[in-house]
A and B are shown apart, each in its own frame.
Chain A
């Protein structure tokens, strides 16, 4: 029997037929319902406008002269575009250096988190490690702890990081390690990956093992490629979280050479520069996230839909 193909227009990213809305096709022809729908779309577009208006306002502001910015009847469009604001922002603080720092930190966190979390999830889900359920529950308790509780002991630990018995403690303050290491473990990631692995049939792995694969090779050659969609979701989420993180870097870094972009921009703001320069820096720090959303919007939206039930 031929497989019935779902038309492209009816597909979501999961290949499940799209759900219909509240109104039936018959009801949609009703003029009253039509009015409601038009009104609803206006509400939606107004909401979208409210969402992006501040961002557009920020971009406009970053091109204004100081006189325009501080004029009391607002000048809405910049008279002529001031690229000098951006040049000034780059001159005041080493934004490229901050960008590089952010990239190093995010790459380290994402790579390590994907590797270690998927290894742990594989062990819990497929290798049936002892006390798997208990260990998962233990990991999940880390989601309960507010960061404010951890920040003081974490600060002391990074000040005097124990390498092992017999070694002197290492001071990790003002290093990338202080930010990367605490961010690697993610109970949320382990949970999602474990659920995903549970849906992979064991027979596939048996087949690989019979063919002589060790567990490491099964993991690298089968599990990793098979779970690419969920891995990409997790990678983007952990990237965005790390990129946006502010509290912990603020505590643990005080050498400007190691500032991530977000912290560096905040330091520029704290210097008390005029708003047009500050806004230029803000635009620059927003740009990577906007680009990320543009290029990976499908993955991000799918990820939110997939992880939504987890929250």
Chain B
């Protein structure tokens, strides 16, 4: 007999509320015997109990069939002769077996498969539409509209993000030649990158750039935003002034700083000479390998400080004033309020912006390209400029792709954190 799984409702033991699936299931309901309780014929427990009983009665070979449906009622004279029934209440074998099973079930000795199944069953949703079958998908159907709304973005995503990603990885495994015949070279490009001292130089520079920009430029926006939040007037003007460097394009900004950083006629050296009183003091801001990277960091910090400050400021605007008031009722001094309320409230934003800063500084290109283009003795060569030179100067697309992939891998941890943060915000 097939033991196919059938869904059971939570009203498993209550016969009346049992959902009826098909007319064929009705058949067992009419039978006034044990199969009422058992869906797919006798369970092993039942068969065992019945066999035990019949053995004790000495009737185990009397009936060929072992199903309860075909078993005939046992003659009463035989029952009277049964040793264990002497002096007991009259009870048919079926009733006896039934009560044994019932007892065992109540004491937990029989594990009811149906009860377990009912726990894992999904409840039937009451408002679920009953459809005769799966409708065929048709491009002009009403339901297909949701897909067509998504379609352009999906195509653009596949064409300009997904496919280039895959293709970029493919290219990184070849020695690419622009005229056609590109030779597959396996992981050679990656090996080459690991042995390339210039590549390691770019990595070191990128890490140095990131660290320097965090050390120099990460805390001022926090302080400035807290100060800005205290101001009673002039906020609008201040916001615009701070935002101005962020809005202007990177190319004029970088050129402007290149001019100001100039050794001979740059304004920064003039200010330095004027403030120290030494007319011959000259710092090669961009021509000295020791200073070049830091100079670009300074320009980067100048450009992005207003943006970060406004984000912190917006976050401070949402800080509920009840927190401060509660602290003041408890007599908390200003420093306590700052450390225990303001800073913790800004912490989530700090985390997000830290990750963003790491990601942007690693991917920096325009500022470096304009100001030094790799700089004196590769001291400012970052990954972006090196990839650009390799790919479009030397036309070595395979090697450049491999370096880009390595960069992607190095940034993966930060990007995943970033994605996780975004996902949390979206929820």
User: Do A and B truly interact?
Assistant: yes
B308-328 CB mask vs A (1 if < 8 Å, else 0) is: 001101111111110011001
In the complex, which of the residues A54, A194, A195, A301 has the most CB atoms of chain B within 10 Å of its own CB atom? A54
- A177-225 with Cβ < 8 A to chain B: 181-182, 184-185, 187, 190-191, 194-195, 215-216, 219
In the complex, which of the residues B236, B313, B401, B404 has the most CB atoms of chain A within 10 Å of its own CB atom? B404
Segment touching A, from B2-10, B39-47, B88-96, B413-421: B413-421
Instruction: Flag if B153 contacts A147 (CB, 8 Å).
Output: no
In the complex, which of the residues B152, B227, B391, B407 has the most CB atoms of chain A within 10 Å of its own CB atom? B227
Residue A262 lies at the interface, judged by CB distance under 8 Å to chain B: yes
Residue A80 lies at the interface, judged by CB distance under 8 Å to chain B: no
Inter-chain contacts of A124 with B (CB < 8 A): 150
Residue A297 lies at the interface, judged by CB distance under 8 Å to chain B: yes
Residue B157 lies at the interface, judged by CB distance under 8 Å to chain A: yes
Instruction: Flag if A127 contacts B145 (CB, 8 Å).
Output: yes
Residue A4 lies at the interface, judged by CB distance under 8 Å to chain B: no
Quote the shortest CB–CB distance from B416 to chain A (angstroms): 7
Closest residue of chain B to A154, judged by CB? B164
Known: A54-B257, A157-B159. 6 other contacts (CB 8 A): A51-B245, A55-B244, A251-B392, A304-B243, A306-B314, A311-B352
Quote the shortest CB–CB distance from A188 to chain B (angstroms): 9
Inter-chain contacts of A72 with B (CB < 8 A): 264-265, 270
Inter-chain contacts of B150 with A (CB < 8 A): 119-120, 123-124, 129, 135
Residue A285 lies at the interface, judged by CB distance under 8 Å to chain B: yes
Residue B171 lies at the interface, judged by CB distance under 8 Å to chain A: yes
> Which of A22, A152, A279, A285 is within 8 Å of B337, CB to CB?
A22
Segment touching B, from A82-90, A226-234, A242-250: A242-250
B250-272 CB mask vs A (1 if < 8 Å, else 0) is: 11110111011000110100100
- B68-121 with Cβ < 8 A to chain A: none
Bound: A18/B366 CA distance, A: 38
Residue B334 lies at the interface, judged by CB distance under 8 Å to chain A: yes
Inter-chain contacts of B142 with A (CB < 8 A): 215
Instruction: Flag if B230 contacts A40 (CB, 8 Å).
Output: yes
Residue A171 lies at the interface, judged by CB distance under 8 Å to chain B: no
Inter-chain contacts of A135 with B (CB < 8 A): 150, 154
Closest residue of chain B to A243, judged by CB? B249
Chain B contact surface mostly: helix
Instruction: Flag if B265 contacts A191 (CB, 8 Å).
Output: no
Instruction: Flag if A19 contacts B228 (CB, 8 Å).
Output: no
> Which of A24, A244, A246, A311 is within 8 Å of B324, CB to CB?
A24
Instruction: Flag if B302 contacts A50 (CB, 8 Å).
Output: yes
Instruction: Flag if B252 contacts A286 (CB, 8 Å).
Output: yes
Residue A143 lies at the interface, judged by CB distance under 8 Å to chain B: yes
Inter-chain contacts of B419 with A (CB < 8 A): 140-141, 143-144
Bound: A220/B353 CA distance, A: 35
Closest 4 CB pairs of A and B: A305-B314, A127-B146, A120-B153, A144-B415
Instruction: Flag if A152 contacts B270 (CB, 8 Å).
Output: no
Inter-chain contacts of A129 with B (CB < 8 A): 146-147, 149-150
Instruction: Flag if B407 contacts A148 (CB, 8 Å).
Output: yes
Instruction: Flag if B392 contacts A293 (CB, 8 Å).
Output: no
**A289 and B387 in contact, given A127-B146, A157-B164, A305-B317 (Cβ under 8 angstroms):** no
Inter-chain contacts of A24 with B (CB < 8 A): 324-325, 328
Instruction: Flag if B248 contacts A290 (CB, 8 Å).
Output: yes
Quote the shortest CB–CB distance from A248 to chain B (angstroms): 10
Residue B356 lies at the interface, judged by CB distance under 8 Å to chain A: yes
Closest residue of chain B to A127, judged by CB? B146
Quote the shortest CB–CB distance from B353 to chain A (angstroms): 7
